[in-house]
């Protein structure tokens, strides 16, 4: 219990000091909400509109989850192919890197024109594209960077490539996979939120932030930003929880060491 408290109190203290300094700055400088709303105003708006906040967060979170799911599946599939076939590696790696450099603000309007703008399909696709690259790169690294002695042992036993993949490469890639997921999960929320700025259903956090800011309800806009931050943290903490369940305890201690 004491170790947990010693782990938790530093970020809590820093957060309290930061929010206190923020509140003091707004009060002393008499800053208007359109410049910088006070934390107290944001908390009040969040509390008063909690139902709307969580409804919008659920919609954006669902979009982010679908994009994370499809992007992860695509990244895993591409990594497995690239590891097995050199030609595929040479073709897929530049493609994945190129997709990662495409800006969301350029990609979303194009996909909105290709698909029904009233659906969430364009947003899910944008999120999946953003997620694909960190998953692909990390899993590919885990599949390739195995102990050469272990690879030679598998060859000496005349093991088939499929057997080597199952026994050696995939277990080695699991920590790399979760590293990629911990990067991709918050990115999925960000991508889904940004994609909501460019038309489509007005039910998500991005749409609500834009609408509140346009109506000069800056405290409410920041409250929706707070809901987005909480959503991203939930995604990140969920991945950490899954990693602790899936990854053997010995592997976790090895990584920490």
Helices (H) and strands (E) in the chain, counts: 12, 0
CA–CA gap between residue 218 and residue 45 (Å, rounded): 10
Per-residue pLDDT at 29 = 84
Per-residue pLDDT at 157 = 73
Domains of the chain: residue spans and CATH: 41-256 (1.10.3720.10)
Asked if residues 112 and 198 have their Cβ atoms less than 8 Å apart, the reply is yes
Per-residue pLDDT at 234 = 93
What SS3 state is found at 183? helix
Per-residue pLDDT at 236 = 93
Residues present in the chain in total: 257
Structure tokens at 88: 């595929």
CA angle 245-249-254, nearest 5°?
130
Per-residue pLDDT at 232 = 93
Per-residue pLDDT at 128 = 92
Per-residue pLDDT at 7 = 65
Per-residue pLDDT at 6 = 64
Per-residue pLDDT at 255 = 41
CA–CA gap between residue 105 and residue 60 (Å, rounded): 17
CA 234 to chain centroid, in Å, comes to 10
Per-residue pLDDT at 257 = 36
- How do residues 103-132 score in pLDDT, each as one tens digit? 777 777 788 778 777 778 888 999 998 898
CA 48 to chain centroid, in Å, comes to 28
Per-residue pLDDT at 16 = 86
CA–CA gap between residue 11 and residue 51 (Å, rounded): 28
Per-residue pLDDT at 238 = 93
Task: Report CA-CA distances (Å) from 78 to 91, 134, 176.
Answer: 10, 12, 15
Q: Tell me which residue has tokens 């002695």.
A: 149
Alpha helices in the chain (DSSP H): 2-29, 39-48, 50-84, 86-100, 104-114, 121-144, 148-156, 161-164, 170-195, 205-214, 218-246, 249-256
Q: What are phi and psi of 92, to 5 degrees?
A: -80, -40
Per-residue pLDDT at 222 = 92
Per-residue pLDDT at 253 = 37
- How do residues 59-93 score in pLDDT, each as one tens digit? 999 999 999 999 999 999 988 888 777 777 777 77
Q: What are phi and psi of 101, to 5 degrees?
A: -90, -10
45-57: b (≥16 Cβ within 10 Å) or e: bbeebeeebebbb
Structure tokens at 218: 């800056």
For the chain (length 257 residues), average pLDDT per consecutive 10? 62 84 86 84 88 91 94 91 76 74 76 78 90 90 80 71 77 90 92 83 85 87 92 93 76 41
Structure tokens at 3: 């170790």
């Amino acid at each position: 219990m004491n170790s947990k408290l010693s782990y938790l109190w530093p970020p809590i203290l820093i957060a309290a000091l930061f929010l206190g300094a923020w509140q003091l700055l707004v009060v002393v400088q008499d800053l208007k909400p359109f410049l910088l709303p006070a934390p107290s105003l944001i908390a009040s708006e969040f509390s008063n509109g909690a139902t709307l906040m969580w409804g919008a967060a659920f919609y954006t979170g669902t979009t982010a989850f679908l994009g994370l799911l499809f992007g992860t599946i695509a990244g895993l599939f591409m990594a497995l192919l690239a590891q097995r076939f050199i030609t595929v590696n040479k073709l897929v790696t530049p493609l994945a890197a190129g997709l990662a450099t495409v800006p969301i603000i350029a990609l979303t309007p194009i996909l909105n024109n290709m698909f029904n703008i009233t659906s969430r399909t364009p947003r899910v696709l944008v999120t999946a594209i953003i997620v694909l690259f960190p998953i692909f790169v990390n899993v590919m690294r885990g599949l390739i960077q195995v102990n050469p002695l272990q690879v030679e042992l598998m060859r000496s036993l005349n093991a088939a490539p499929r057997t080597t993949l199952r026994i050696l490469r995939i277990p080695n890639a699991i920590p790399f996979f979760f590293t990629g997921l911990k990067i991709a999960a918050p990115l999925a929320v960000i991508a889904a939120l940004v994609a909501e700025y460019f038309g489509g259903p007005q039910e998500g956090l991005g749409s609500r932030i834009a609408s509140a800011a346009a109506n000069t309800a800056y405290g409410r806009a920041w409250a929706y930003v707070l809901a987005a931050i909480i959503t991203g943290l939930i995604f990140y903490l969920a991945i950490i929880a899954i990693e602790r369940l899936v990854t053997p305890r010995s592997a976790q201690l090895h990584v920490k060491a």
